[in-house]
Amino acid sequence: MQGDLQYPVKTRDIHNHHMDSTIWDDFILRDDDIIIGTWAKSGTTWMQQIIGQMLLGPDPQLKANELSPWLDIRVAPKEEIFAGLEAQENRRFIKTHLPADALKLSPKVKYIYIARDGRDALWSWYHHHCSFNEMAYEMLNETPGLVGPKLEKPCDDIRQYWHEWLDNDGYPIWSFWENIRTWWEVRHLPNVKMIHFADLKQDMVGTMQDIAEFLEVDVAADDWPAIAEYCSFDWMKENSDLTVPMGGVVFTGGSKAFMNKGVNGRWRDTLSVDECAEYEAIALKELGPECAHWLAHGTLG
């Protein structure tokens, strides 16, 4: 409870080939922690780099991929993740792909949620899925404790993949709509900030400065040009060994395969007008008009 605000409580756990939300139950938060939430392929790694550079940079050698772990990933021993985070003396920034109602929201921790139009997120995720090597499938499917079906290799047709994703709400990973919706529902909390991928693309420095203000991070004016350079797509792709999770060892083509295009709208050459209308109708039904509009266009008032 903070003032008259009632903070939502955790109502469920999420288990699948990638995630185990119960890991958070045993994790001890610090009051100044920063939690970065997304569905998937919506700017997570970008936001980790941005926050890392604002907190600890500008530093071209900053290893954001090591400093900012995905806490709820089930394939890494949680004891190792906990120990690494406990050893950090800096302000910590931690990644999650959980919906808000599968987390215990602390009034003292800062939460940043970054979202992206589902069509853009899915196009990026499809490339991501197609890039998985045998090590990735072994880790996800053979690590003990799997709940639910294994992750299968993707089909060759992105339109078929799109329809399976849309018809089965986030298949083959986790629900897209509930992820967006649950974070949208807590956007009024003073320690929750919603960021849209399109706004970062349109005005990266302005959006970063807004994030710094929210996080109460003082960035010297002279540092912004270097931070902007180290957070640019081209720089991050060229230095992907410093930014991509696990250095990209689970991707065919290594870390640079993880950093694909970083652009929106690639679906326009594939999806028909009717297919887009179907997606937009589902978004409106699942999210309501205000959230659906924001997800499609960005920029909160």
Helices 177-184 + 289-297 axis angle, to 10: 110
Buried b (16+ CB within 10 A) or exposed e, 215-229: beeebeeeebeebbe
Q: Tens of pLDDT along 195-246?
A: 999 999 999 999 999 999 999 999 999 999 999 999 999 999 899 888 877 6
Q: Tens of pLDDT along 145-186?
A: 999 999 999 999 999 999 999 999 999 999 999 999 999 999
Q: Are 60 and 69 in contact (CB under 8 A)?
A: no
Confidence of residue 247 (pLDDT cuts 50, 70, 90): low
Mean pLDDT over the full length of the chain: 93
Could you state, in order of their start, the residue ranges of all structural domains in the chain?
A: 21-297
pLDDT of 265: 84
Question: What is the 3-class SS of 7-73, one letter each residue?
Answer: CCCCCCCCECCCEEHHHHHHCCCCCCCEEEECCCCCCHHHHHHHHHHHHHCCCCCCCHHHHCCECCE
Segment 100-115 mean pLDDT: 96
Say yes or no to pLDDT of 2 above 70.
no
pTM of the predicted model as reported, rounded to 2 decimal places: 0.94
pLDDT of 104: 86
Q: Alpha-carbon distance 33 to 91, whole Å? A: 6
Segment 115-121 mean pLDDT: 97
User: For 21-297, which CATH superfamily applies?
Assistant: P-loop containing nucleotide triphosphate hydrolases (3.40.50.300)
Q: Tens of pLDDT along 259-294?
A: 556 667 889 999 999 999 999 999 999 999 999 999
Say yes or no to pLDDT of 88 above 50.
yes
Residue with tokens 């045993």: 26
pLDDT of 199: 96
Backbone angles phi, psi at 49, to 5 degrees: -65, -45
Say yes or no to pLDDT of 254 above 80.
no
Confidence of residue 1 (pLDDT cuts 50, 70, 90): very low
Neighbours of 145 (CB within 10 A): 8
